[in-house]
Amino acid sequence: MKKLGVISSFLIILILMTGLNYLLWEREGWEEDIKVLQDTNASYTLTINALTRQLENLENTLKARNESIDKITKENNELKKKLEDLKQENIRSNNIIKNKVAVINNIYNNIGDQDYIKDFISQWAEYISQGEYEKAYNMCYEQEQEAAETLEEYTNKFKNIVENIDVKSVKIFDVSGNLKTKEENTDQYLIGEYEKGDLFLTVELDVKLADWAVNYDIMFDQGTNKNIFVLKYKPDSGKWFIIDIRKGA
């Protein structure tokens, strides 16, 4: 019995030692697996970080490319607009030149007439002085439906206000030489002016106003006035028109 007890104890110890060794072996295996997993995870992390950086670089490259495309598109649109503006300006300039040729021909054909232009303005002044406002109006507007004001509005600017107008002198007004310093684009300003009128004249007038109108701010002052008369020649009708009278030349 004693031997049996010793053998049993030995077997139990042997089993325990074997189990313990197995557990230790399993633990080492688990630790190795964990280490492998940790190394794999670290490798995956590095790979993900590298891919993330590559993705960020690609996104930055794409963003820079899109910004470059937007910039080029904007510049292209601006160039198209400038080209269209130049095209329209060229058309306007050509129209001005054509009209100026007609103006020169008209003046040349009437160059033998003494004070041809002065007589035209004097006729307008005479109509105003005599109260023939419709005739004066027709010297300013070719067609009433295209006029900037009605005959009634035009008449009200002179009737019972201006009693008499005498034309003293007429001289050419130099538009380019009298440019306002505030004009930033002088070329466009000049084109705009020459589109409006064909002749710009400094006209000295002797004006007599009604007594009540002397102290009012109207088109003319009592006595001597210097005004800019803007004349437009219409080749179709072969007539001149006073399209604007500017105060204070």
Instruction: Per residue of the chain (249 residues), give pLDDT as tens.
Output: 666 666 766 667 777 677 666 666 766 666 676 777 777 777 767 778 777 888 788 788 888 888 888 888 888 788 778 777 777 766 766 666 656 655 555 564 554 555 778 999 999 999 999 999 999 999 999 887 778 899 999 999 999 999 999 999 999 888 877 766 445 567 677 777 777 888 889 999 999 999 988 887 678 999 999 999 999 988 888 889 999 998 865
Query: Which structural domain, as residue segments, surrounds residue 207?
Result: 115-246
* 105 and 119 share one domain: no
* 45 and 64 share one domain: yes
| Total of domains in the chain | 2
Residue 1 is encoded by which pair of tokens?
Answer: 């019995």
The CA distance from 199 to 232, in Å, is 7
pTM metric for this prediction: 0.58
* 159 and 78 share one domain: no
Q: Last residue of a domain, which of 109, 140, 155?
A: 109
* 9 and 38 share one domain: yes
Q: What's the pLDDT at 108?
A: 45
* 85 and 126 share one domain: no
Q: Last residue of a domain, which of 67, 86, 109?
A: 109
* 21 and 6 share one domain: yes
